[in-house]
Amino acid sequence: MKKYTIILLTSFMLNVVNIAYALEEISGQNVFHYGDKHFSFNIPQGWHKLPDSVLESRIKDLELHRKEPLTQKPILAFNRIGAVHPFEVPYFTISAGTFVIDDSEINRILNSLQKTMGKAARKEEGSLYKDTLIESPTYDKEKHIATIAVDSKLTNNKVTLDIKLLTVFFFYKDGVVVITFYLPLDGSSKYIPIVKSLINTFKFDSGYEYTSR
């Protein structure tokens, strides 16, 4: 599980999956429901889901920087309507893992996250992320949500950006759903209300919530 946890933190890729999802407007809010992993949330106002064809192109582009394909790939991505290009920060991606989950497994994941704290430099050839500073993770025991922040440098189209990655782990009965927010480091605080709003509206379908065991 430690290996899987690190993959979730470092992959930051986009996957194309032909799974049913639905977008519906309820009381002026765009509610996105992803049936395969049994979760939903309100899409931030002025944001939208990126098309699958765009995700596929992103996969091919990012894998050029690696010797091997990534084993864990986010399944969805969202950006602001009107962004200059699809992966212009800020944006966020969603990935998911299915495995046997209980309190001890969550503790192992949190311990693994804790060990990643401090400065770390990516050694991998062709890495897009360098000079990372990983902050201490937090965990909400009542909602079963873990959060970790990473300050890093992202190289995209030969341009290096200072970014903040906010990664949120939502544990549920079948494993975990992970949302990673890519924010500009300078001025990232103005996007925190959007992050909090999404977290507050995120929920699993009835019967799929995690209960301590």
Q: Contact, 76 vs 18, CB < 8 A?
A: no
pLDDT average, residue stretch 182-186: 90
How far is Cα 7 from Cα 169, in angstroms, rounded to an integer? 13
**Cβ contacts of 197 within 8 Å, gap of 6 or more:** 42, 44
pLDDT tens for each residue of 14-27: 332 333 445 544 44
3-state DSSP call for residue 148?
strand
pLDDT tens for each residue of 135-171: 778 999 999 999 988 888 776 666 778 888 899 999 9
The percentage of residues in the chain with a pLDDT greater than 90, rounded to a whole number, is 46
Q: Which CATH superfamily is domain 2-203 in?
A: Mog1/PsbP, alpha/beta/alpha sandwich (3.40.1000.10)
User: Average pLDDT of the chain?
Assistant: 79
Sign of CA dihedral 87, 53, 78, 171: negative
pLDDT > 90? residue 40: yes
Q: Which amino acid is at 153?
A: K
Residues β-bridged to residue 168: 147, 179
pLDDT tens for each residue of 86-111: 989 999 999 999 999 999 999 999 88
Question: For the whole model, what pTM was predicted?
Answer: 0.80
Q: What is the pLDDT of residue 114?
A: 78
